Structure 1
């Protein structure tokens, strides 16, 4: 009986390598389909590759672009303090209802709301509340609006304060005006709003006011439309603790610079 010859064939590759190869083929097909269905945007491709690399654990994670931060899961951090952010919906509803009511009656400028780092800001156009050169609120709807804002202020925690800021354009006041200049007029308008809030039983210790006159315009005073935007009263909700904390940081920075 002849002796069986030993097979001289090379050893096969490890079994796991075949599975790995199939996986790579599937990933390649996936990318081909993905690219065929989407626009060839370099940032989007970079984000997709980086996401898959990180989740598969095969390669290091990709670059996260600013675009992906905007379109991804929204950040839980708000630009305004949490206790103010919670009541922003209530203020937003009051602003919306006031604008709808005003649009039905007379149209024109609308009240707007803005979330900023310093707090929640409600922009009240001067044209819908004050007559030119005066600081008395003549519009009953504006007074009703302040009454509803006052109801919200009264529910706020003690650390939340409200400041009223008056602004004007650079048009000189007529000689018959009881105010010396725009600076004085802006302060008087802010104080007028404060008076109404106090009348609606907001604690005076929660309120403050300031007049900025024509010196902090939001846009140009060269056009009538720009002047209209610059004439306003802002109602600002801010956390006093947050302001104090930021003040300490600023003072510390100044001391560090001096050292």
Structure 2
């Protein structure tokens, strides 16, 4: 009797491979999503970070909430039209008595710091007396203590920041007048960058004596012109309109 030809045994179907492939695809998609989220705009990360003046670094052990005094200042500077009437309040919130260095009392601070509204935001205007030795451009220890109180304000907003230096008319007569104003602005900018702030948020300007706050010739008036302005552009121009 002729034996039947045996058919080759059917190979088991590997349907599980399809499921495995789907899982791998989902995992890859998940990791790509995580990677995209981890590369978010660093300015957002800065807004939820807390600056510690004592350690001169970002303190990541905190909850990430904006300190109440900083939030109150942010609410004010985002409405520049209120700055004029709230200037003293902004100073008190940013610089309470317990953080002022010994060489800078409340009267000295108030006389040498102004908060001015601009078309695109708010400028903190520091006279050279608060920041530098006479005729100099290197930050004093007291200046660093003052700027340490401004740092959280910058960290908790994504607004671009312009740091501008100025001289008075007498300093501006010298060929180094514009250079001096640039060196003063650079000293302040270098301080902020040393804290780990994002360089692309900042711009630097040097105006020398060309933009005086007070053009009267007396010393008290000219002292107002020797200054550095930290300008937070909280209202950006977009299509001819100012936006918050």
- TM over 0.5, yes or no? yes
- 1:162 maps to 161
1:170 CA drift (Å): 1.2
1:139-187 C-alpha deviation (Å, 9 max, x unpaired): x221012122112211213xx1111111110114798xxxx42111111
Q: Does 1:144 align with 2:155?
A: no
The 3 A distance-change label for structure 1 pair 203 and 100 is same
**Quick check: which has more Rg, 1 or 2?**
1
Q: Which has the higher contact order (CA 8 A, sep 6+)?
A: 2
- 2:186 maps to 191
> In the aligned structure 1, how far is the partner of 2:213 from the partner of 2:151?
26
- 2:220 maps to 225
> In the aligned structure 2, how far is the partner of 1:166 from the partner of 1:191?
8
- 1:249 maps to 240
Number of aligned residues: 161
> In the aligned structure 2, how far is the partner of 1:181 from the partner of 1:221?
22
1:100 CA drift (Å): 9.0
- 98, 112, 115: which one aligns with 2:114: 112
For normalisation by structure 1, the TM-score amounts to 0.52
- 1:123 maps to 125
Alpha-carbon RMSD: 3.6
User: Which of 145-154 and 207-216 deviates more?
Assistant: 145-154
| SS of alignment partner, residue 171 of structure 1 | helix
> In the aligned structure 2, how far is the partner of 1:225 from the partner of 1:83?
27
Structure (1 or 2) with the greater strand fraction: 2
- 1:94 maps to 94
